[in-house]
Chain A
Amino acid sequence: MVERFRSKALELPDPEHRFDRVDLAFYGVDHSSATYEARVFIGAPRGLERGAGADHPAYAGSFYVFGHDRCYGEEGHCMVPEGRDPFDLRLPHHLEPEPEVVTVTEAVRRLAEGGKRKAPVDVLACGPDGAPVKALGFDELRLLTYR
């Protein structure tokens, strides 16, 4: 788990190809520890300051994770099983990683219209008091463009 993440540059949509909506989809988001805000920035310069927020020009949106804090069971209780028996009709494990979707249309439009073809995504994890928290974890990030 980390308190910040910077992606490789993602390809942005060509402004000549119209788009109505752009989402950043985070897959496999961990929610086993703290409750936090994930502040999402697109096209920020390297070295984004720790306290950067909604007033930063590269801010694109936030998602919020409702954390489980820690394991309250015995050893193994909070281990998410790998793989799933297709005949297992029980509901998934309570810590099954979750998807998060942040709509970032205007932020991407600004960058694309400014001539940017690629941009990295930065994510800062902050607790309710604004302090960084080491709770951020996810498997994959995708930029989804719709029209």
Chain B
Amino acid sequence: MTVAAKHPSRAPVRLRHRRSARRLSKGQLAELRQALSRAQRIGDDRGYQYWAGVHGLPLPTYCRHGSPLFLPWHRAYLYFLEKALQDQVPGVTLPWWDWRDHSEALPAAYARARTPGNKANPLHSSPIQPSGRRLPNEKRTWREPGDPSWLPSAAEVDQVRANRDFFTFQSQLESLHNGVHGFVGGTMAIVATSAYDPIFWAHHCMIDRVWYLWQLDHPGARLPDAYLDLALPPFEMTVRQTLDVTALGYDYAAGTAAVPGPGNG
């Protein structure tokens, strides 16, 4: 296993690993697509449309932007969507899109409309439920990638990670995050509809990963105590519960490979 951080944050336990979207194995990618497709077929509050709608449309707009709760709220959001996907395909995790690499605008797994087996790629676009649309004819997500200068560079991310104060770090990271939404364009470019685009989740995993790496860089740095017991509606989770990703059962690896052992029989 290759880990993305220099050191794992805790002694090995059976965590799930969020992997780079560019390094998913064929099997991992197939499982992700399967989980997403199954969640798309569910029309109630276990399904993809419900979770995508929590961010913006249909109202209320639950997401927190330009807020002290930006990072904790989105960490909770990723956690609950990932759990909904794991209900469909156990063990599946959300991948992260490393947008610091400008060599290809979007990861291939998300950019291609068809899978190698010539099926519609559920990572490329998603239906938008009628109550989630800006306009009645916006039935599916769409993208319009713009100027790559809107994508953060490695140097910009490093500069943001060097901040020691949580709020300055968060504010500057959120600004970089905003640029990625604008770069993808289309459905992703506005708060109300962005979470319907499947790449939203890979983008936010990268944001969450940068927070995780910042936490490793600055042990103990976090929001002030006054914020820790705030709830993050609509999730049954407080800010405090978002501070340790390993307590949420995951961490960030670049890629993973596993083989079965001999068993204990």
Contact = CB atoms under 8 A, between A and B. Distances in A.
Interface of A: 23, 29, 31, 35-37, 53-54, 62-69, 72-73, 77, 91-92, 94, 96-103, 127-130
**Interface of chain B, main secondary structure:** loop
A66 B181 contact: yes
Contacts of B181: 35, 64, 66
Q: Which residue of A31, A64, A97, A99 has the most chain B CB atoms within 10 A of its CB atom?
A: A64
Contacts, number: 96
30 contacts: A35-B181, A35-B182, A35-B190, A62-B175, A62-B179, A64-B177, A64-B179, A66-B65, A66-B174, A66-B177, A66-B181, A67-B191, A68-B61, A68-B192, A69-B134, A69-B190, A72-B56, A72-B192, A91-B69, A91-B233, A94-B63, A96-B66, A99-B171, A101-B175, A128-B147, A128-B183, A128-B185, A129-B146, A129-B147, A130-B146
Contact of A91 (B64, B150, B179): B64
Interface in B100-159: 134, 144, 146-147, 149-150, 159
Which of under 10, 10 to 19, 20 to 34, or 35 or more describes the interface residues of B?
35 or more
A97 B65 CA distance: 10
Contact of B159 (A66, A99, A100, A103): A103
Contacts of B35: none
Contacts of A54: 149
A35 B183 CA distance: 10
B191 A37 contact: no
Given A68-B190, A91-B69, 14 more contacts: A31-B66, A36-B182, A37-B179, A54-B149, A64-B179, A64-B182, A66-B65, A66-B191, A68-B192, A91-B233, A96-B66, A101-B168, A128-B183, A128-B185
Contact of B191 (A68, A91, A98): A68
Contact of B171 (A36, A67, A72, A101): A101
Nearest to B167: A99
A31 B69 CA distance: 16
Contacts of A129: 146-147
Contacts of B69: 91
A69 B171 CA distance: 21
B47 to A, nearest CB: 21
Contacts of B25: none
Nearest to B193: A69
